[in-house]
Amino acid sequence: MSQDSPSFETTPGPSGETHQHVPNGGPHDAGLAHLTTNQGLRISDNQNSLKAGRSGPVLLEDFVLREKIFHFDHERIPERVVHARGHGAHGVFECTRAIPELTKAGLFAETGKKTPVFARFSTVAGGAGSIDTPRDVRGFAVKFYTDEGNWDIVGNNIPVFFIQDAIKFPDLVHAVKMEADKGYPQAASAHDTFWDFISLMPEAMHMVLWQMSDRTLPRSPRFMEGFGIHTFRLVNGAGEGHLVKFHWKPVLGIQSTTWDEATKIAGADPDYHRRDLFETIERGAFPQWELGIQVFDDGWAMEQPYDVLDATKLIPEEVVPVTIIGRMTLDRNPDNFFAETEQSAFCPANVVPGIDFTADPLLQGRLFSYLDTQKSRLGTTNFHQLPINAPRCPFQNFQRDGMMQMGVPHGRANYEPNSLFEQGEPTGPRECAETGFVTFPDAAQRDDSCARLRMRPELFDDHYSQARLFYRSQTPVEQSHLASAFVFELSKVDLEHVQQRMLTRLAAVDMDLAHRVAKGLSLPLPAPAKSAAPVFDMDPSPALSILSAGQPRMNGRTIGLLFAEGSSRDSIERMRDAIEAQQGRVVLVSQKVGLQEVRDGTLKADAKLEGSPSALFDAVVSIIPPEALSALRSDHTAREWFADAYAHCKTIGACPATLRLLGEWGIAADDGVTNLQDFPHVAPARHWAREPRVRLLA
């Protein structure tokens, strides 16, 4: 092979997969000796444009300049409409239980089979530049690079969804995004249009209870469940089919933050989740999830009081247990965020033999939408506004924005249904059954079972039973959080009729929940909304509760340790050893950074107190000498550090000097304020009995 011929070499990655390197294919390749243009021409000067004389004008013939500026001008592509803010990692999936009796998919054919994966975690509502910790559903998408092609599980950290039919998805997203006339709020659902829409869509009630729960305030993707949401079908080699739902369960367990923590983390570190995942993998503490399946047949599904193809419903794990069949380990960060994470394209239509779809109407819409979404990022959705494509008759709908938008829509509402009015008239166009297009029925369609209908099965009409199941499956602490979240969100809604309508929906779910929210809003408690189907009680499901699983382990947690000049290095080292023995991590915090004189030597702080609020840590411990009290006593940041940890119900490990300081500040001792000896055994437990003393709960 000649010296100038292209050559390729492969090197093994952390997961055992190989990565191809093209010597002249990338600007950061270690083997590239010469800077070149995109055509491979070596560049002699990358610092100066070509000019007509030393002081003359730049010449148009400077192709090096033109190529460089041209590429720079087009570096950005449109961000995703939803799930725009995301972060991902590479890894490997290992089949831990072969299931050839259920599916002929090769990645499940034999125990020990390993498959490379790429996973992306995201928020839903915010843009690419928003924060990591809003109250929001989280995307949980995994791409399997199987031997038979790519298979994508494109889901969320919640097993159900807001809507039953994909035709309502644009309305849902329009309603939750920034309001059309204001352009805010960003990455928040606590505003009029979202709750106006939700209050008009009773099918969303199950989902909004999940949304208002602590599930939408995850501690990190590492502590987050994932769900395929829909019912899919597994097909074995004999052509036999079984229905299935997919579950991702974090090995470290499920953990969340409180609302106050989430808001303070957003200010201290808007990239908190992205940083946590990246740095955890860099440290070699690779996060893992187990893949589980709920498997059942069509006959069983037909006997249930809900439709398993309804995306607003789940199957309790106590009824159909989750069987673990594999484990995913994320062990390598992307080399380039744009090239890998931003350009990753997931689609639920990407399947392999042995995995098939069902008639879930939300899934069917996604099968089209995702491919179309990826293509739209390379062009425009508004091609129909070009003169050659534009209709010659009037047209109006709630489709909005996009590249090359030449219309100027006005008004606040860009979704339907809505109850907003402008000058006394309903906002926007409405459907018309009398004059609108209706599909012509074929003569062969003799009954509803095979007819093409714009209808939903009768069992889809029950919007409240599983919402009630979710609420009543929560612990009292979680129910208080959930009700308080509704109060906060609805307090941001200026339309009282929307607040009242939401209260009727909540009353149909549970009167205790509705009473709490109504009291928090100082509004009268209305009668429950009428349900289109009977509402029935289901046995509580402990699997739906975070706190029912017990207090968290130290494994994977981060502890903030406050020290000062004169602190005992021996005590600090013993505390760090005790925490690390339980696979926790210690961050040394002080009023100053750099090396400090402590008893028995020197110690370097990892972080400055002013820039490291206790909201960043799962528990805090303080080892300070009496002579440091004066400096801490006059430091508002120090007082806030302890007060926030106490208000967030975290364990506080306190030396005698710290106990004295807490007493001066009126921070009452309780079971969660421990001595140094007991701290490693108690942290990072939350002490929820403290919460009513530090915040107003609904």
Close Cβ partners of 456 (under 8 Å, ≥ 6 residues apart): 164, 165, 361
Q: How far is CA 249 from the centre of its chain?
A: 15
Residue 508, helix vs strand vs coil: helix
Number of C-beta neighbours around residue 393 at 10 A? 5
Residues 123 and 137: their CA atoms lie apart, in Å, by: 6
Structure-token pair, residue 582: 């339980």
The residue assigned the tokens 């990565």 is 19
The residue assigned the tokens 């690079």 is 145
Q: CB–CB of 608/593 below 8 Å? A: yes
Rounded to 10 degrees, the C-alpha dihedral 615/621/623/629 comes to 50
Q: How far is CA 372 from the centre of its chain?
A: 22
Residues 213 and 473: their CA atoms lie apart, in Å, by: 12
Q: How far is CA 116 from the centre of its chain?
A: 22
Q: Write the DSSP symbol of residue 384.
A: G
Return the exposure string of 37-56: e unless at least 16 CB atoms fall within 10 Å of the residue's CB, then b: eeeeeeeeeeeeeeeeeeee
> Do you know the residue count of the chain?
698
Residues 485 and 479: their CA atoms lie apart, in Å, by: 10
Number of C-beta neighbours around residue 423 at 10 A? 5
Residue 167, helix vs strand vs coil: helix
Residues 369 and 480: their CA atoms lie apart, in Å, by: 37
Q: CB–CB of 210/455 below 8 Å? A: no
Structure-token pair, residue 675: 């001595």
Residue 65, helix vs strand vs coil: helix
Residues 461 and 313: their CA atoms lie apart, in Å, by: 11
Residues 591 and 608: their CA atoms lie apart, in Å, by: 6
For residue 438, with 0-12 CB atoms within 10 Å meaning exposed, 13-18 middle and 19 or more buried, which class applies? exposed
Residue 645, helix vs strand vs coil: helix
The residue assigned the tokens 């799930």 is 83
Reference 143, options 96, 77, 98, 93; nearest CA is 93
Q: How far is CA 674 from the centre of its chain?
A: 34
Q: CB–CB of 652/683 below 8 Å? A: no
Strands 619-623 and 652-654: parallel
∠ Cα 574 578 579 (to 5°)? 120
Cα Dmax for the chain = 92
Residue 17, helix vs strand vs coil: coil
Q: Write the DSSP symbol of residue 125.
A: S
Residue 585, helix vs strand vs coil: strand
Residues assigned a catalytic role: 83, 156
Reference 130, options 176, 163, 72, 166; nearest CA is 176
The residue assigned the tokens 């607040």 is 499
> Phi/psi at 352 (nearest 5 deg)?
-125, 165
